[in-house]
Amino acid sequence: MTPYTVYVVDDEEVAREGVVLALKKLYRIKGFANAEDTIEAVLNNPPDLVLLDIGLPGMSGIEALRKIKGLYPEVIVIMITAYEDVQTVVSAMKQGAYDYVVKPLQMNTLMVTVRNALETIKLRKEIQLLHEKYLKENLPGFIGESDAIQDVMEVVTKVAKSPDTSIVILGETGTGKELIAKAIHYRSPNFEGPMISVNCAAIPKDLIESELFGYEKGAFSGADKSGKEGLVEKAAEGTLFLDEVADLSMEAQAKLLRFLEEGEYYRVGGTKKCMAQTRIVAATNKNLEEMVAAGGFRQDLYHRLAVIKIEIPSLNQRRDDIVPIAKHYLVEFAAKFGKTFTGISPEAETALKIYKWTGNVRELKNLIERAVLLGDGPLLNLRDVGAAPDCQGAGATVGGTAVGLPALTPDGIDLPDVMAAIEKEYYEESLRIADGNESRAARSLNVSRDTFRYRRKKLFG
C-alpha cells in the first residue's frame, strides 16, 4: 500500500524536525514553518494528515485549519498546542480537527494518535471501494457521460450523505428508480443496515398498512397468531424503498406521514407506540403534483416525501449513453451464454440510438439479452437487434443493409437526431466504399468535396 502523506507544521525548527525524523520511516513527511506555505502545498498536493501547530506566526493554526478543511474536508488535521488551552482546543475540534496533542510532544503518544487517525482513512477508503464496486456491478443503467445522467449521479452523491432525509424518485417505467434508491443506500451512512424494497401497487390496499407497520396477534381475521414485524421495523437503521408510492391508500398515507414526521408508528391492532430510525425513499412514474391537485394524494405527505426530488431522464433523453449501456450488457450476456461478441456493428448502433425506447433501460437490456442469445457474432448486427418487435420501424438502406428507423407515434420522434444518425451512417459507408478517399466519397453522395469535409467534421468531430 502506498505510504500516507503527512505534513508537519511548526515554527519551532527543533520540534518540527524531531517529528519529521520520528515519522519519516513510516510515512511520506514534509515539514513547514508557517501556515501560508502549508496552504499552498495543500492546494497542489493534498496530504492525508496535517500535524498543525496552533501558535504559528502570521496566519494562526486555527485559521489554517479552517482553510484546509474548506479546501479538502477529508484531510485529517491534528492540532499541536504548547499548553492545554481548553477554549482554543474546543474551537479547533468544532471546526473539524480530528484530535490534539500537547507540547512537549511525547513521541510514543504522537505515533499512536497519528496511526489511529490514519486508520480512519484506511476504513474510509475501504468503504469507498465497496461503494464503487457495488455501483459498478449494479448500476449499468447509469453508465455514460451525458449531462442528464451526470446531473442525476451528482445529486445522488450529495443526498446520500444524509442518513434520514426523505427522497422521492420520479421517472418513466424502466429508467432504474430502484437502482437509484440502492445507490443512495449504499453511499449513505446507513449502508451497513438493511435495504428493504416494497412495491406498493402489488399489495392489496387493505393489507398495505399491516405490511408497512406490522400487526399484533389477533389484529384481524387470518392474522398470524404471533403477530408480524412490519417493513418499517425491518428497515430500521437502513432504507425502506416504497416503489409505486402513488398507489398507497389514503389511510396508509396518513400513517406514513405520521411516521415521517415523528419517527413513530403503531402496529395494526396495537396500542404500544413503536419507534424506528429508517430513511424513506419513494418512487413513482405518476405525476404526484397532479394527483395532489385531484385529491388522490395527500399534499402534506407529498411535501414530506419530496424533501429531495430526483428526476431520472428517459433513455430517449440521453441517447449518447445508449451504446455504452448496450455494450455493457453485451459483455454481461456474452459471458452468461458463452458467446463470442467483440462489439456492435455501426448499423446496429445507429438503430439502437434512433429507436424510441418506451421501456427505457429495461427494454434495452432485454433486447441485448435476446440479441446475444440468438446471434452468432462476432459483431452484434442489425439483424440481431431487429429481433425485437418494431426495433427497425420504417426502413432506410445503407450499403445494402436496412437501417432501423423509429416508427412515428403520437408521442413523436426526435427528427434532428434521426437525420444526424442517418447522415453519419452514409458518410461512414461512403468512405468505406471509397477506401477513405474523400473526393470519391463526396461524389457518391452528390456533394462537393468542401461540403463533405465540413459535414464530416461536424458529424465526427
| Three-class HEC string of 72-86 | CCCCEEEEEECCCCH
Q: pLDDT 10s digit of each residue in the chain, 461 long? A: 568 899 999 999 999 999 999 999 899 999 999 999 999 999 989 999 999 999 899 999 999 999 999 888 889 999 988 766 667 777 788 888 888 888 888 888 899 999 888 887 776 776 566 556 655 555 655 666 678 888 888 888 888 888 889 999 999 988 888 888 988 888 888 888 899 999 988 888 778 888 888 887 766 666 666 677 888 889 888 999 999 999 888 888 988 898 888 888 878 777 788 888 889 999 999 999 999 999 999 999 999 999 999 999 888 888 888 888 888 888 888 888 888 888 888 888 888 888 888 888 888 999 999 989 988 878 888 888 874 444 444 444 433 444 455 555 666 666 777 777 778 778 887 888 888 888 988 888 888 888 888 888 887 76
Q: How far, in Å, CA of 198 to CA of 188, rounded? A: 20
Residue with cell 430500521: 236
Look up the pTM and report it. 0.57
Burial state string for 111-128 with b = 16 or more CB within 10 A and e = fewer than 16:
eebbeebbeeeeeeeeee
Pairing of strands 28-32, 5-9: parallel
In the chain, the N- to C-terminal Cα span, in Å, equals: 41
Question: What's the pLDDT at 131?
Answer: 57
Burial of 218 (0-12, 13-18, 19+ CB in 10 A): exposed
Beta-carbon contacts of 120 under 8 Å, excluding residues fewer than 6 positions away, are 76, 98
Cα distances from 59 to residues 14, 42, 77, in angstroms, run: 20, 15, 16
Q: How far, in Å, CA of 179 to CA of 301, rounded? A: 23
| Domains of the chain listed by start with CATH number | 5-127 (3.40.50.2300), 141-313 (3.40.50.300), 317-460 (1.10.8.60)
Torsion angle, alpha carbons of 435, 438, 443, 446, to 10: 120
